[in-house]
Amino acid sequence: MENVLEAKNVNVFYGDFQALKNINMKFKKNAVTALIGPSGCGKSTYLRLFNRMNDYIDSFNMQGDIMVENKNIYNKEIVVEELRKKIGMVFQKPNPFPKSIFENVAYGLKIQGVTNKAVLKNAVRKALQQAALWDEVKLDLDKSALALSGGQQQRLCIARTLAVEPSIILMDEPTSALDPIATAKVEELIRELKQKYTIIIVTHNMQQASRISDYTAFFYMGEMIEYNKTDTIFTNPQHERTQNYITGRFG
Amino acid sequence: MNNSQINRLKDKTFNYFGIFCTLIGLVILAFFIGSIFYDGLRRIDWDFLTSLPSRKAEKAGILTAWVGSIWIVIFTFIIVVPLGISAGIYLEEYAKKSRLSSLIEVNISNLAGVPSIIYGLLSLEIFVRLFGMGNSILAGSCTLALLVLPIVIVATREALKAVPHSIRAASYALGASKWQTVWEQVLPASFGGILTGVILAISRAVGETAPLIVIGALLYVPFTPSSPMDEFTVLPIQIFNWISRPQHEFTTNAAAAIILLLLITFIMNGVAVYFRNKWQKKINW
């Protein structure tokens, strides 16, 4: 399988603090890659590098290259708004806009200048169907998104991301605020989405990583300790740290 | 008496003291409003609202005053809203945190506390003389806009701050620019708070007297203004004028005008509270 994303010699600093230490990693296309590790190990920082969401942090400073389709996305000529249309993101807590369900999903297209009502309607339906939310909300698309349950809100956020038609989706602990049933739905969704999308997911939940991911990378104190097929990581880890973490001896 | 009895006594004592403190304000206000209504209510009729001022108290009306107040409110609104909201957006969303920006912040908070007569003197020099506006409605509106600008800026910033950061992140992550994020998401979500601030600022402007007297608003205007460059008077100045007359009948007129002024500010504050509640209900993060 081909690689769609690559980190080359990446170092990240917040002021004097080094959050990531010399990371080198390649991500496979149409696969789910899980980033695991204890809190503060740098996995969220790492994830947010790929759509440049760290740019908003004042003390953020980065060295190295992040290659998407063989282009360094930290180059000066990269337009970050364009990049984010290709690389979508789903956040830890569901964060729908305080608008209607329809407006939430259509927003990404509207800001690109799409005004045709029929086109928007179609795109909204398609995205909601892909996110397995259509049947639950098709009758009240004009209802406020804030009236949905937490799990529905998170699937709405996924639909909102899909509507822009990205090729890569970043997920930052997308189920940490959800109950087990809603979590199961989102996990099932992720498994389906990987046929069309490349997914990178940060998770605290090791069962989740083993259930849904094809590849897993273990982070510890800003270093990438081990990266392999998920099966291998969970059955036959090469490093003692990884072994200790996945068996729950620390973390 | 043992210890816990003493504590309960303290509790009770403070309870009654608190009721007393609360009532003082209310009773005085009620007494004030009561006496105003007693003096002025019977004076308010159609003629009073539609008559020009006069030397004879029973003939005098407040047409020019309330029309002047409305002109002033509208122009103050037009001037202060774009300036205040834009400045608030800039400081909250765009400005990088630096020494300069925190200096500006402190100064804006300080400006809100500058006595209004100082603004009047400043405006007299700048708007009336330097810019040659004369003692017109435009000069008056500029003065009041300057006076309430800090209120609008601070209210805008507070309202923007109340919008969770996750909303901005969601918008950016979909490929929105800063401007799109502010315009499409942050501003609509904070609209209730901003509007409340603007209305409170305007209702403060309605009641201002001192700065307008300084810039030369007239005590006696025998015509209603027809353009922003006309001379004008406003309700509080008319009240001030009538109160300072020796004849007792004018006091009745003043009381009637005060009722009207109170009514306007109460309505504006009521609208502000209504909008705040409405938007708070709609957006429950």
Structural domain boundaries enclosing B171 = 46-282
pLDDT tens-digit profile of B8-17? 999 999 999 9
pLDDT tens digits for chain A (251 residues)? Answer: 688 899 999 999 999 999 999 999 999 999 999 999 998 899 999 999 999 999 888 889 999 999 998 889 999 888 999 999 999 999 999 999 999 999 999 999 999 999 999 999 999 999 999 998 999 999 999 999 999 999 999 999 999 999 999 999 999 999 998 899 989 989 999 999 999 999 999 998 888 999 999 999 999 999 999 999 999 999 999 998 899 888 887 75
pLDDT tens-digit profile of A214-242? 999 999 999 999 999 999 999 999 998 89
Residue B205 sits at the vertex; the CA angle it makes with B200 and B209, to the nearest 5 degrees, is: 145
Q: How far apart are CA B107 and CA B123, in angstroms?
A: 19
Q: Locate the chain A residue with the closest alpha carbon to B189.
A: A98
Question: Do residues B83 and B199 share a domain?
Answer: yes
Q: How far apart are CA A199 and CA B97, in angstroms?
A: 35
B95 has a chain A CB within 8 A of its CB = no
First-last CA distance in chain B:
51
- The pLDDT mean for chain B works out to 88
Contact B142, B111 (CB under 8 A): no
Contact B143, B116 (CB under 8 A): no
Structure tokens given for A62: 């980065």
Three-class SS of chain B: CCHHHHHHHHHHHHHHHHHHHHHHHHHHHHHHHHHHHHHHHHHCCHHHHHCCCCCCCCCCCCHHHHHHHHHHHHHHHHHHHHHHHHHHHHHHHHCCCCHHHHHHHHHHHHHCCCCHHHHHHHHHHHHHHHCCCCCEHHHHHHHHHHHHHHHHHHHHHHHHHCCCHHHHHHHHHCCCCHHHHHHHHHHHHHHHHHHHHHHHHHHHHHHCCHHHHHCCCCCCCCCCCCCCCCECCCHHHHHHHHHCCCCHHHHHHHHHHHHHHHHHHHHHHHHHHHHHHHHHHHCCC
Cβ distance of B174 and A107 shorter than 8 Å: yes
Cβ distance of A157 and B185 shorter than 8 Å: no
Question: Do residues B71 and B208 share a domain?
Answer: yes
Contact B269, B199 (CB under 8 A): yes
Residue B117 C-alpha from the chain's centroid: 15
Cβ distance of A164 and B173 shorter than 8 Å: no
Tell me what ipTM this predicted complex has: 0.91
Q: How far apart are CA A14 and CA A44, in angstroms?
A: 13
Question: Do residues B55 and B154 share a domain?
Answer: yes
C-beta neighbour count of A234 within 10 angstroms: 18
Q: How far apart are CA B273 and CA A162, in angstroms?
A: 40
Question: Do residues B251 and B239 share a domain?
Answer: yes
Q: Give pLDDT, residue A25.
A: 94
Q: How far apart are CA A213 and CA A191, in angstroms?
A: 8
Q: Give pLDDT, residue B282.
A: 60
Question: Do residues B146 and B16 share a domain?
Answer: no
Phi, psi of A38 (to 5 degrees): -65, 165
List CB contacts (< 8 A) between A56 and chain B.
172
First-last CA distance in chain A:
32
Domain count, chain B: 2
Nearest to B170 among A56, A82, A91 (CB): A91
Question: Do residues B77 and B191 share a domain?
Answer: yes
Within 13 Å of residue B176, how many CA atoms lie on the same side as its CB?
Answer: 26
Single-letter residue type at B236: P
Question: Do residues B14 and B132 share a domain?
Answer: no
C-beta neighbour count of B101 within 10 angstroms: 14
Q: Give pLDDT, residue B26.
A: 94
Q: Give pLDDT, residue B230.
A: 84
Question: Do residues B60 and B186 share a domain?
Answer: yes
Q: Give pLDDT, residue A52.
A: 94
B177 has a chain A CB within 8 A of its CB = yes
Kindly state the DSSP code that residue A59 receives in the 8-state scheme: T
Question: Do residues B171 and B218 share a domain?
Answer: yes
pLDDT tens-digit profile of A16-32? 999 999 999 999 999 99
Question: Do residues B191 and B84 share a domain?
Answer: yes
Question: Do residues B118 and B21 share a domain?
Answer: no
CATH value at residue B61: 1.10.3720.10
Cβ distance of A164 and B175 shorter than 8 Å: yes
List CB contacts (< 8 A) between B170 and chain A.
91, 95-97, 157, 160
The alpha-carbon gap from A222 to the nearest alpha carbon of chain B, in Å, equals: 24
Q: Is residue A108 helix, strand or coil?
A: helix
Cβ distance of A108 and B97 shorter than 8 Å: no
Find residues 185-204 of chain B whose CB sits inside 8 Å of chain A: 185, 188-189
Within 13 Å of residue A107, how many CA atoms lie on the same side as its CB?
Answer: 31
Q: Which long-range contacts (CB under 8 A, 24 or more apart) does A12-18 make?
A: A12/A42, A12/A45, A12/A46, A12/A49, A12/A54, A12/A60, A12/A61, A12/A62, A12/A63, A12/A222, A13/A59, A13/A60, A13/A61, A13/A62, A14/A57, A14/A59, A14/A60, A14/A61, A15/A59, A18/A222
The alpha-carbon gap from A208 to the nearest alpha carbon of chain B, in Å, equals: 24
Question: Do residues B25 and B74 share a domain?
Answer: no
